[in-house]
Structure 1
Amino acid sequence: MTDELELLDGTLRAIFAKHCDRSARLAAGRGFPRELWTVLERAGLTTLGGDGAGPAELVVLARAVGRAAAPVPLVETAGLAAWLVAEAGVEQPDGITTCAVGHPDDDLRVVRDGDGWTATGTLHRVPWGRDGDHVVALVDGGTLVVLPTPQRVRPGANLGGEPRDALEFDGAAASAVADSPIGTDALRARGAVLRAAAMAGAMESALELSLAYAGEREQFGKPISSFQAVQQHLVAIAEETLCAGMAVRLAVAAAPEQEVFAVAAAKNTAGCAAAVVTKRAHQVHGAIGVTDEHALPWFTTRLWAWQDEFGTTREWAALLGRGVVADGGAGLWPRLSASVGAGEDR
């Protein structure tokens, strides 16, 4: 990690350590954590993706969000919305700007209305849609639209308790409409990498919690970390956490011709790792690990939810499989070795 990335990571760790403790997470279930968001805004982190930051910086940001189980749409605002509007030459609006994730049931349409544009339809599973001031979406594959959040919101949530809302528009005036050089496939790919990075961060916290608990909890007069069965769980959690993080690093460092394959590998690896980490971490903790009083569910429930966002583990595995088959037997090693080389250069 470069000095700049270490500085960014340290800044995020310090902010979340101070403003994202257990009480702040619990309070987020009753209302949006404005104080935390204000701190992130003042630090310039909510516009990071539009201020020239590349995938490496945004991965650090997403990993920190996952590591802290931060109840804010920082990834959606800084990593996706800011990036989309900047690439389209549109100014990012003030306030909380979330990003529609491109749900298959979305039916938003924009039409010319005099000198402006109006939008009608529904955006589904929008992260923090109820709390946003604006939402950025791609329609018809390559048109960027920026809309104020409507009054008609159907609240929803993922398994981690994060808002995933349906936003209904009926002739709403668009703040901006522009041709986008970023298509829906590219949005999905970037979203997948950032979710995989957040998952890697959440796994780091699950590992830390498991190590701490295994060292403190005693059975038969000694810490349970001294038992081979528990040690096997801890080793498995550490291995999968490392694999997920490495896959994300390779995706960031991949050459353009390798990018789709590397993204698929990262999201698939993170999804498979999450299945192991959540199971083993809960086995280490036993009953206390599923209680509201313990921190572990903040991370494991998010891991279960994030497995399916921006493409499921199975969907990305299928893409990997089709790519390998298309390459043929002679093409597999060159593809793998090119990915490894890119990671080493990084």
Structure 2
Amino acid sequence: MSDQDLVVETVRDILSAHEPFVLTPERCWDEGLWADLAAAGLTGVGLPEECGGSGGELADAVAVVRTLAAGSGAVPAAEHLLVAGPALVEASLDLPPVEEPISAALTGEVTAKASDEGRDRFVLTGTVTDVAWTGVARHLAVLAAPPAGLDGALLALVDASALEASRVVNLAGEPRGSLVLDGVKATGAVLSPAQADRMRARYALARSVQLSAALEQVLAWTVQYAGERQQFGRPLAKFQAIQMELAEMAGEVTAAGALTDAAVQALGLGEDYAHDVVLAAAAAKVRAGAAVEVVARRAHQVHGAIGFTQEHRLHHLTRRLWAWRDEAGSELSWSLELGANLAAAGTGELWSRLTRVV
């Protein structure tokens, strides 16, 4: 058994003790699941040991996020392990204790000015929007406009525990709010434009990883149900119409998974391939988002009325699919990003760049 297989098995064992539940304002995340993951060292996977993490490779962190997404785990693992944590490490900022959830704030209008408390100290003013796990995350990695005279963006680490967040949730019930930063003190580091783009691409890729895993699980459940459910004396899977729907779902899941895996591989190549990471993440997010429409609809059609009930497991993933599809940039926004970047290469390099990315 490989180290990655061991990670997946450990996450599954922990998930087995935490059944998915409908999120409510009173219970907006699975605190017990997060505590068990932290106790097993899984909230530091993929983050360097010298920075306070558990070590391991990017693929290990991706495996944790994929397994939790497929199991409807209501915890901020994707933001923590694939976006905020790595960005702080790459910017040489101190990583908070990995037992404390970290999220990322990449949209909104926030400006920064230098503080007289030190070279890496700043004061932030403005509002961050569409922040995942507001009210849950103890820390935020915020992208802000840098002080006057500096190019790029400022990555700032903010203590979010004392900030009041708006009470907004996505379709799955996961907190997605806004935070007002009114003279908030933070440590920070200036990123180049390429580094800031890479962080945004990481967020899109994190959602793509979650989407791909959830799509795969929905397909598996649907195939199982079609094989077990009897209609007119034979399993649903024996009907040609159902077989065609399952085949269409499988094609979408395979395409989304292939592009997501390619983007993860590009990210693992390092900063020298930062531009490829943005394009690969864009392609993955577009393809995974497009797959949601087909897979979720077909899954509910095959399951029939039972799939729409609160008691059935299907909605725990399909509601997340519909929500995650619109987060970290829509298909339209990433399609425009992908098209503009490929077109900028010129006709002479279009094909080579396109095949290198996807």
Q: What is the TM-score with the length of structure 2 in the denominator?
A: 0.84
CA contact (8 A) 2:105 2:141 kept: no
Aligned length: 334
Is 1:66 the counterpart of 2:69? The answer is yes
More displaced 10-residue stretch of structure 1: 38-47 or 186-195: 38-47
Q: CA deviation at 1:339?
A: 4.4
Give 1:344's aligned residue: none
Shift of 1:76: 1.0
Distance 1:111 1:290, change over 3 A: farther
Which amino acid is the alignment partner of residue 287 of structure 1? A
Aligned-partner SS, 2:182: strand
- Is the CA contact 2:198–2:278 (under 8 Å) kept in the aligned structure 1? no
1:173 aligns with 2:173: no
CA offset at residue 124 of structure 1? Answer: 1.3
SS of alignment partner, residue 170 of structure 1: strand
Correspondence 1:238 to 2:250: yes
Alignment TM-score, normalising by the size of structure 1? 0.87
List per-residue Cα deviations over 1:221-275 (Å, max 9, x = no partner): 2221111111111111112111111111111223615333222211111111112
Separation in structure 2 between the aligned mates of residue 329 and residue 89 of structure 1, nearest angstrom: 39
* Pick aligned residue for 2:338 from 320, 324, 342: 320
- The DSSP-based 3-state class of the residue aligned with 2:105 is coil
Question: How many percent identity over aligned positions?
Answer: 36
Asked whether 1:101 is paired with 2:92, we answer: no
Query: What letter corresponds to residue 133 of structure 2 in structure 1?
Result: W
Which segments of 5 or more consecutive residues in structure 2 lack a partner in the other structure? Answer: 49-54, 146-151
Asked if 1:30 corresponds to 2:26, the answer is yes
Query: In 2, Cα distance between the equivalents of 1:126 and 1:58?
Result: 21
Deviation at 1:72, TM superposition (A): 0.4
Shifted more, 321-330 versus 282-291: the winner is: 321-330
Name the amino acid aligned to 1:178: A
Partner of 2:127: 122
Q: Which amino acid aligns with 2:260?
A: V
CA RMSD of aligned residues (A): 2.5
Q: 1:31-72 CA distances to partner (integer Å, 9 max, x unpaired)?
A: 232221111112222223432554433322322222112100
Equivalent residue runs for 1:1-346 within 5 Å: 3-19=2-18, 21-22=19-20, 25-26=21-22, 30-31=26-27, 32-51=29-48, 53-94=56-97, 95-103=99-107, 105-107=108-110, 109-112=112-115, 114=117, 117-140=122-145, 141-149=152-160, 150-174=162-186, 176-180=187-191, 183-254=195-266, 256=273, 258-339=276-357
Name the aligned partner's letter for residue 85 of structure 1.
L
1:330 CA displacement:
4.7
Q: Which amino acid aligns with 1:9?
A: V
Q: Aligned-pair distance for 1:306?
A: 1.3
* TM-aligned CA distance change 1:168 to 1:267, over 3 Å: same
Q: Secondary structure at the match of 1:26?
A: coil
Q: Residue type matched to 2:338 in 1?
A: L
Indicate conservation of the 8 Å contact 1:129/1:135, yes or no: no
> CA, structure 1 residues 323+85, in 2 after alignment: closer, same or farther (shift >3 Å)?
closer
Q: How far, CA to CA, are the matches of 1:302 and 1:280 in structure 2?
A: 16
User: What is the CA distance between 1:310 and its match in structure 2?
Assistant: 1.6
Contact map agreement 2:132 2:176 (CA 8 A) in 1: yes
Deviates more, 1:149-158 or 1:200-209: 149-158
Q: Which moved more, 1:153-162 or 1:198-207?
A: 153-162
Residue of structure 1 in register with 2:51 after alignment: none
How far apart, CA to CA, are the structure 2 residues paired with 1:339 and 1:172? 39
> Deviation of residue 195 (structure 1)?
0.9
**AA partner of residue 40 (structure 1):** L
Who is 2:148 aligned against? none
Structure 1 distance, partners of 2:73, 2:305, is 24
Q: What SS is found at the alignment partner of 2:128? A: strand
Distance 1:56 1:163 in 2: 27
One-letter amino acid of the structure 2 residue matched with residue 14 of structure 1:
D
Closer/same/farther in 2, CA of residues 110 and 10 from structure 1, 3 Å limit: farther
Q: Residue 138 of structure 1: CA displacement?
A: 1.9
Contact 1:45 1:78 in 2 (8 A): no
AA aligned to 1:26 is V
